[in-house]
Amino acid sequence: MKAEPGKDVLLMGGAELAASLTAQGLIEEYLVFVHPVILGGTKRPFAEGTARLGLELVESRTFDGRVVLLRLRRA
């Protein structure tokens, strides 16, 4: 899909799928929405043991004075 012409591919949610695509180097940009709440639990956005990624901040925006969008690209 990535090699085909057309629009970007958007993945929402799916931590296991995101971790798999990250491990294969197929994700170019991450959009992370930070919500100011503490939920607890054990679900991680990336699998334990995932190699460290170099990311650079491309953009940040604040919505309604609380939620922050971080747009990150692989460095």
Return the HEC string of the chain: CCCCCCCCCCCCCCHHHHHHHHHCCCCCEEEEEECCCCCCCCCCCCCCCCCCCCEEEEEEEEECCCEEEEEEEEC
Q: Which of 13-17, 43-47, 50-54, 67-71 has the highest mean pLDDT?
A: 67-71
Specify the higher pLDDT residue, 64 or 20.
64
How does the average pLDDT of the chain come out, rounded? 83
pTM recorded for the entire structure: 0.69
Residue 63 has pLDDT above 80, yes or no: yes
Write the pLDDT tens digit of every residue in 11-31. 777 777 888 888 888 888 888
